[in-house]
Amino acid sequence: MNQRTNLPEAMRCVVLIGIDFDGPSHEVGRGIAPLGKHSWGNYSARCGVPRHMDMLAGHGIKGTFFVPGYDAERHPDTIAQIDRNGFEVAAHGYLHEAWELGLEEEEALLRKTDGILRDIIAKPVLGWRSPSGRKSDRTMAVLKSMGYIYDSSDKDYDRPYRLRFGKGAEDVIVELPNNTYSLDDFPFYKFSHTPPSEVLGQWKSEFDAIYGADRFFVMSLHPRAGWGSGTPSRTRALSDLITYMKGHDGVQFMDYRSFALWCQEHRDNLEEVSFA
């Protein structure tokens, strides 16, 4: 690493809200029919995503929806609506792959999802988040070749940085790490079945600590029923958190794309890290 990533004082705290669509792809990719108790992913497209869009629009803020290609194929109208409503659509695997991929299979699925999303929104896709944290030493090169400018998968730092994945001058991509497990709704609602009021309290505590220190607040949310934030009381907890954050000076809500573009334009503000 070189110098520590520096955010200007005007950005007292940057807030990125990432919503992982995680529809039926999550079950289908594991060989499970999305029916009965396994139908929570369909709730995402039918209820959770529209509810999240309405909530974000009510606050006048942007968010990024990370979408598996399979879910986009099944719910193209929902993906198109995300884009029409002014939210970013980014990639999130094809079948929410939870297994290691060979290089050819990985590249084929990355390009397949990219093509599906581009066809629906009629514009380039610029960002990616790994499904289930799976990522190889070739992933970034493939994404960069498709025109992607950022990744939001790694867990290794508190601030954004430039990730170098090769020796070429252009072998760099912006990394927007999502390293705070307690800023993901999944562990609260999947494992501990935490009430939304307690989740809200934890999120406020995380924000207070980050606002006073690293100033980079990244959320990973899932608009499903079951272990996600798609249901009314859980979406309301998120809305209450946003209201709380808006009460602090200098908080900037951005989608991932906009902040990644800012990082590109201010490259001297960012550390460069190499995994090679």
Render pLDDT for 147-170 as a digit per residue (tens, 0 to 9): 999 999 998 888 999 999 999 989
Contact 127, 260 (CB under 8 A): yes
Render pLDDT for 123-132 as a digit per residue (tens, 0 to 9): 999 999 999 8
Residue 2: per-residue pLDDT: 46
**Average pLDDT over the chain, rounded to an integer:** 93
Residue 146: per-residue pLDDT: 98
Q: Which domains does the chain have, with CATH numbers?
A: 13-274 (3.20.20.370)
- 24-41 average pLDDT score: 90
